[in-house]
Structure 1
Amino acid sequence: MPALTGLLWLIGYWLVGEVVIYLSGLPVSSGVVGMLLLCATLAVIGRVPDSLAAAAQPLIALLAMLIMPGVVGVFFILDELAGQWLAILVALLLGTLLSVVTTLWLLKRLMGSHAH
């Protein structure tokens, strides 16, 4: 039952992201907005609820499969990206660096005194 509650957390934040995108017209994925809001919520409360951890753990194992459709889709637009390799490389490197730094910061903050 805890995993179901955690899944409802994830779906709820995704739906909040949908509403934010619908009302604001931002050109960003609603999933990204929802996860940013969830990340902010977790940073404020300072911990990850057990139910959310129970729901997220199996999804982490499937992460590669969840990302694969977007990666495969790039191969269909390679001609359109031909002159953009420098920008793509910089975006990938900067995005990866920011993702790692943010993840480490959040992990350290949420682990708190449990890190020892």
Structure 2
Amino acid sequence: MPILIGFLWLIGYWLIGEVFVHFTGLPVSSGVVGMLLLSVTLTIRGRVPNSIAAAAQPLIALLAMLIMPGVVGVFFILDELAGQWPAILFALILGTLLSVTTTLWLLKRLMGKHYAR
């Protein structure tokens, strides 16, 4: 039952992201918006409920499989990306650095008191 409740949380935040993107017209994935809102909620609460953790664990194991279709799709539009490689490389490097920095900051903030030396 906790897994079902966790999936409902995840789907609920995805739907909130969908509504937000629909009404604002932002060119951002609704899943990204929903997960950002979920991250903000969990940061404010200061913990991750067991139900969300139980639902997220199997999804993390499948993460590579969930990303694969988008990666494969890039090979079909290589001609359209021909002149944009410097911008793509810059975005990949900057995005990776920001992602790692944000993850480490959030991990330190949420778990810092438990693992402080």
Q: Following TM superposition, by how much is the alpha carbon of 1:91 offset from its aligned partner in structure 2, in angstroms?
A: 0.3
Q: How does 1:3-42 map to 2 (within 5 A)?
A: 3-42=3-42
Q: Following TM superposition, by how much is the alpha carbon of 1:69 offset from its aligned partner in structure 2, in angstroms?
A: 0.6
TM-score normalized by structure 2?
Answer: 0.95
Write out the 4+ residue segments of structure 1 that deviate beyond 3 Å after TM superposition. Answer: none
Alpha carbons 1:46, 1:109 under 8 Å: kept: no
State the percentage of identical aligned residues: 80
In the aligned structure 1, how far is the partner of 2:37 from the partner of 2:20?
A: 10
Q: How does 1:1-116 map to 2 (within 5 A)?
A: 1-115=1-115
Between the two proteins, the alignment pairs up a number of residues equal to 116
| RMSD, aligned α-carbons | 1.0
In the aligned structure 1, how far is the partner of 2:112 from the partner of 2:11?
A: 27
TM-score normalized by structure 1?
Answer: 0.95
In the aligned structure 1, how far is the partner of 2:44 from the partner of 2:58?
A: 24
* 1:54-83 per-position Cα deviation (integer Å, ceiling 9, x unaligned): 111111010000000110010000000001
Unmatched segments (≥5 aa) in structure 1: none
Q: Following TM superposition, by how much is the alpha carbon of 1:109 offset from its aligned partner in structure 2, in angstroms?
A: 1.9
